[in-house]
Chains A and B, each alone.
Chain A
């Protein structure tokens, strides 16, 4: 089939289209074997939510700030932080990773969206979840736990 593209039409939109990504389809989850279905198991239920909670509070952000920055639903943000059984979708995990500057692939594994290929991540997630009890203000202990876990996530990618 022959297609036609008006040169003037393209010229008119050349500048405004600049710097915009165009990808559509699905996320890169090739590592997830079809037999496992849509989701793999989270290495440590609750660790993902705690990581989001502490990373948000470290920035001094409210839930509303996080929702605005990551462009996710407020209800989902609350569930992520408070419901350890909740597994957010890949889009939400990608958005949170970007907003909080956390490594995307590790976040997908931690959230249960991608198979855990690294046994140490599971161990580190357990350790992190155990150390980061919830209090309003980020305690020194929580701060240290968060710093160490984020450092591990970044080092091991």
Chain B
């Protein structure tokens, strides 16, 4: 069963915040709708860059992610929650989190429970790595704020963790204020980030 909350995104065309919906408990129909819109757009944009021989060809590091598979694999599992942000009738971002099995690694929080962000991504038309003029901004901030609020509700005091793709390291280190714990050789060498309770409070301020 899904629940909806009011959120806001930055509409870059209008230059102002617009109302959006945060979906807690994304359905298979929502995921299907997202993939049906995301994949054709992604393919079209990548083809466009290749055809024009753009020397700075833009690629998304998560271009092959299939959210349908992720949804099917975790549907009904109590430790997993999938969230979506919807605006203008389209899914603008998706996030899969787990509330068990990923204890904190940072020294002063070691072993404590946290919300682990298994996957998070914005719709391709919102990605600055793919398009010159992204449509909506703040998708990442809304979704990470969701993970932090979930952590607070679970009694984890705002602790969250994730493995950032290289293109997104700046967002988590500088904009979210998370601690960079370095490369994780067990996770494709991706850098692992954690947010402490103090950092969570700072992020939400």
Contacts and interface: CB of A to CB of B under 8 A. Distances in A.
Interface of A: 1-5, 7, 9-11, 13-14, 16-31, 71, 73, 88-92, 94-95, 98, 101, 104
Nearest to A103: B57
Contact of B170 (A4, A20, A101): A20
B121 A90 contact: no
A88 B189 contact: yes
A112 B202 CA distance: 42
A28 B183 contact: no
B78 interface: no
Nearest to A20: B171
A28 B61 contact: yes
B204 A25 contact: no
Interface stretch (B2-10, B27-35, B106-114): B2-10
A141 to B, nearest CB: 26
B121 A26 contact: no
B90 interface: no
Nearest to A97: B59
Given A24-B164, A26-B187, A26-B190, A18 B137 contact: yes
B157 interface: no
Interface string B28-59: 00000000000000000000000000010001
Interface residues of B, number: 64
Given A22-B143, A95-B166, A14 B137 contact: yes
B64 A30 contact: yes
A3 B142 CA distance: 10
Contact of A11 (B17, B129, B172, B187): B17
B196 interface: no
25 contacts: A1-B153, A3-B7, A5-B22, A5-B142, A10-B17, A14-B138, A17-B137, A17-B138, A18-B12, A21-B127, A22-B122, A22-B143, A23-B60, A24-B120, A24-B165, A25-B65, A25-B120, A25-B165, A26-B188, A29-B188, A89-B183, A89-B185, A89-B189, A91-B189, A95-B166
Query: Counting chain B CB atoms within 10 Å of each CB, which of A2, A9, A22, A28 scores highest?
Result: A22
